[in-house]
Amino acid sequence: MTIAIGERLPDVPLAIATADGPQPTTSTEYFAGKRVALFAVPGAFTPTCSSRHLPSYVEKAQELKGQGIDEIACISVNDPFVMAAWNKADGSEDITMLADGNGAFADATGLDMDGSKFGMGKRSQRYSMIVDDGVVEQLNVEAPGEYRASSAEYMLDQLATA
């Protein structure tokens, strides 16, 4: 069952990808006490994720923070070393890269998908959410093959009308 607006995120292990190596954390610890714009991608360095999804958040980071967002995070079922390399190549210091290496977060939120037909195995769906102190405030899940509802632009529109 997919997590819903108003529900608390499940407590699962994650890793923050940093230039100095992985920093272990949990979802409860990471999201505590702040309002986070979280976006999830099926994979680092994949075409839509690299050409549109991550760049939209890099470009709109300051606007999002101006709308009451404390931190912007990207999560993917990738290891922290891949997430750090992707941030170095295409990201910015404004984006925290969260590695869901075993897919525990994707699975626990019901936002996992089977990418086996693409040779990718278990992955995360493409989505965005606003999380306030660990509670889902907004959730935007993309239809398969789509990219619109999880963009930074869409999130900014939601924040402006909230």
| Phi-psi label, residue 56: left if phi above 0, alpha if psi -120 to 50, beta otherwise | alpha
Count Cβ atoms below 10 Å from residue 114 Cβ, excluding itself.
10
Tokens (6 digits) for 114? 């089977």
Dihedrals φ, ψ of 55, to 5°? -60, -30
Longest Cα–Cα distance of the chain, Å, equals: 40
DSSP H or E stretch at residue 24? strand 21-26
The catalytic residue among 49, 54, 104, 159 is 49
- Rounded-to-integer distance, Cα 15 and Cα 97, Å: 8
Whether residue 49 lies in the annotated active site: yes
- Rounded-to-integer distance, Cα 141 and Cα 139, Å: 6
Give catalytic residues, as residue numbers.
49
